[in-house]
């Protein structure tokens, strides 16, 4: 299991355990982390699992694919560290990952 911390728009941090091979979105939904909706269920077909990857983690989470970039157009307040959490696979490398959730998804 890999520890992931989600910091919500109000500043509250929640650290939960994610299974290797699952996604950062699935881990959030399983643990009732707020501010992640995942309307399409992880098909990279909406933009309601938008997160900001915390400073220093971008290299490990990688860059969004062109399809993910297209979907990010539908998100609000997109920043250079914006990702769709359904497209970030949990791996051992991500132990301690910190992401922030936006105030609104849709």
Partner 1 sequence: MAETIKTDVLIIGAGPIGLFAVFELGLLDMKAHLVDILDKIGGQCAELYPEKPIYDIPGIPYVTGQGLVEALLAQIKPFGPAFHLGEMVERIERIGEPMFRITTDRGKFFEAKVVVIAAGGGSFQPKKPPIPGIEPYEGRSVFYAVRRMEDFRGKDILIVGGGDSAVDWTLNLAPIAKRLTLLHRRDAFRAAPDSVNKMHALVEEGKIDLLLGQVTALQGSGGALSGALIKRADGSSVTLACETMLPFFGLTMKLGPVAQWGIELREGELIPVDTASFETNEPGIFAVGDINWYPGKIKLILCGFHEAALMAQKAYHYVFPDKKLVFQYTTSSTSLQKKLGVS
CB of 68 to partner 1, least distance (A): 12
Task: Dig out the tokens for 78 from the structure.
Answer: 């997109």
Task: Dig out the tokens for 44 from the structure.
Answer: 């990279």
Q: With contact defined as beta carbons under 8 Å apart, do 36 and 54 qualify? A: no
Residues in contact with partner 1, total (CB under 8 A)? 18
Residue 106, interface with partner 1 (CB under 8 A)?
Answer: yes
| Contacting partner 1 within 53-82 (CB under 8 A) | 66, 69-70, 73-74, 76-78
* Parallel/antiparallel/unpaired status of strands 2-7 and 82-84: unpaired
Backbone angles phi, psi at 104, to 5 degrees: -135, 140
Q: Which of 12, 13, 45, 65 binds partner 1 (CB under 8 A)?
A: 45
Which stretches of the chain bind partner 1, using CB under 8 A?
A: 39-40, 43, 45-48, 66, 69-70, 73-74, 76-78, 103-104, 106
């Amino acid at each position: 299991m890999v520890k992931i911390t989600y910091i919500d728009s109000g500043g509250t941090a929640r650290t939960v355990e994610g299974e290797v091979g699952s996604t950062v979105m699935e881990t959030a939904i399983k643990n009732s982390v707020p501010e992640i909706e995942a309307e399409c269920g992880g098909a990279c077909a909406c933009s309601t699992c938008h997160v900001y990857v915390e400073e220093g983690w971008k290299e490990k989470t990688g860059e969004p694919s062109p399809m993910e970039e297209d979907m990010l157009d539908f998100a609000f307040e997109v920043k250079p560290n914006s990702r769709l959490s359904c497209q970030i696979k949990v791996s051992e490398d991500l132990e301690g990952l910190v992401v922030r959730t936006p105030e609104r998804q849709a």
